[in-house]
Structure 1
Amino acid sequence: MKSARRSNEPLTWSLFAAGGLLAAFLTPPLLLATALLAPLGLLGEGLRFERVRAFLDHPLGALILWALIALPLWHAAHRLYHGLSDLKVGAHRLTYALCYGFAFLVTLYSGYLVWFA
């Protein structure tokens, strides 16, 4: 009996799905709140620097910020890789390494900035 070849597709698809969920449901309200409502003063004291900084200093707040940065990035890398693959652009392994390698490096760097900077 021939054994099935192991694949990393479940991991990339799960990161793609999580990033898509965050990008679709959380990014628009966050942009609305931080780019429009807060500068207009419609949120009162809710987004004062001290409050936001205290939230981000908490480990759960840092984890949420990291997820809001990293997961949509993996979503974009997955879309870009499969789009390039559909268009037959570049070598399969090279585009895979570039797309997911970039997402991996930025995830590590953003994690460093969120947790240690």
Structure 2
Amino acid sequence: MKRSNEPIFWGLFGAGGMVAAIVTPVCILITGLLIPLGILTSDTYTFSRVAILASHWLGALILWVIISLPMWHAMHRIYHGLHDLGVKSCAVHKWLCYGLAFVVTIASAVLLLQMLTR
């Protein structure tokens, strides 16, 4: 039997879906409703405060998970959604979708590591 790498992508898909389902509504609530309505002050969510969060290893890890896992989820969904649109998927589509998710994951890790070393 030929070994498949599909379980890895399904695992990243599931983890990204969970992160997107839990974190995205909270981000929308905070930045889309609570700050504009004045319930939370925008002083709490300034660039300098987010930079302080990203300069701690735990904050950088949380930001990396929030960025990278939903990207894997989205690219996996797009890759398998091509079939629903009638596009016959090939290796190029797989490399484009998962390659983009990989590039975003690595780029966000590099940028967050730069924040840690400041």
Listed one character per residue, the Cα deviations across residues 27-63 of structure 1 (whole Å, up to 9, x for unaligned) are 1111221333234442246434443332221101001
2:101 counterpart letter in structure 1: A
**Map of 2:65 onto structure 1:** 67
**Map of 2:7 onto structure 1:** 10
**Map of 1:84 onto structure 2:** 82
Give the drift of 1:86: 4.0
Do residues 38 (structure 1) and 35 (structure 2) align? yes
> Percent sequence identity over matched residues?
52
Please tell me the root mean square deviation across aligned C-alpha atoms, in Å.
Answer: 1.9
Do residues 28 (structure 1) and 31 (structure 2) align? no
Question: Are residues 38 and 20 of structure 1, via their aligned partners in 2, closer, same or farther at CA, if it must alter by over 3 Å?
Answer: same
Are the equivalent residues in 1 in contact too, given 2:79–2:89 (CA < 8 A)? no
Do residues 105 (structure 1) and 103 (structure 2) align? yes
Alignment length, in residue pairs?
A: 114
Are the equivalent residues in 1 in contact too, given 2:64–2:109 (CA < 8 A)? yes
- List gaps (5 residues or longer) in structure 2: none
Give the drift of 1:115: 1.7
Matched residues in 1 for 2:89 and 2:70: separation? 24
1:107 counterpart letter in structure 2: T
2:12 counterpart letter in structure 1: L
Matched residues in 1 for 2:94 and 2:85: separation? 14
Are the equivalent residues in 2 in contact too, given 1:85–1:92 (CA < 8 A)? no
1:25 counterpart letter in structure 2: I
Could you state the TM-score of these two structures normalised by the residue count of structure 1?
A: 0.83
